[in-house]
């Protein structure tokens, strides 16, 4: 099993910045990718950014150039600095871990609210 604990959400004005962090524990050696998803009210959950154990990254087009995903050297923590935030970024953000067996694990979610 993998446990994910998130932090860093909050309320900011448009143009501001936030940094999300996710700490993984448990069977971390089975993880081959981690990422962040978000879900706005009335919307489906969507991929924001992902990073593999080898360091390859993938971003939603809507956040390219504004968000960055990274992992620490131990590959137990994934971070998402978010810059130039827009009201459209308002959502609950969830940390995700993907294992080599195809299983997904989820954090509890953290609220990000961007005001005009």
Structure tokens at 39: 């879900």
Confidence tier at 87 by pLDDT (50, 70, 90): very high
Q: Are strands 104-106 and 70-71 parallel, antiparallel or unpaired?
A: unpaired
pLDDT of residue 86: 98
Check pLDDT > 90 for residue 101: no
Measure CA 56 to chain center. 15
Cβ 110 vs Cβ 41: under 8 Å: no
- Coil, helix or strand for 38? strand
Check pLDDT > 80 for residue 75: no
Question: What sign for the dihedral angle of Cα 45, 112, 14, 70?
Answer: negative
pLDDT of residue 41: 92
Q: What is the pLDDT of residues 2-58, one digit of tens each?
A: 999 999 999 999 999 999 999 999 998 889 999 999 999 999 999 999 999 999 999
Output DSSP code: residue 28.
G
């Amino acid at each position: 099993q993998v446990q994910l604990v998130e932090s860093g959400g909050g309320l900011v004005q448009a143009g501001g910045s936030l940094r999300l962090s996710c700490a993984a524990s448990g069977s971390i050696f089975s993880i081959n990718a981690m990422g962040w998803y978000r879900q706005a009210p009335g919307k489906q959950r969507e991929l924001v950014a992902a990073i593999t154990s080898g360091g390859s990254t993938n971003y939603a087009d809507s956040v390219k150039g504004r968000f960055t995903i990274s992992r620490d050297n131990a590959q137990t923590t994934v971070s998402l600095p978010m810059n130039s935030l827009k009201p459209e970024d308002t959502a609950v953000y969830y940390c995700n871990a993907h294992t080599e067996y195809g299983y997904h694990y989820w954090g509890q979610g953290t609220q990000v609210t961007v005001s005009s």
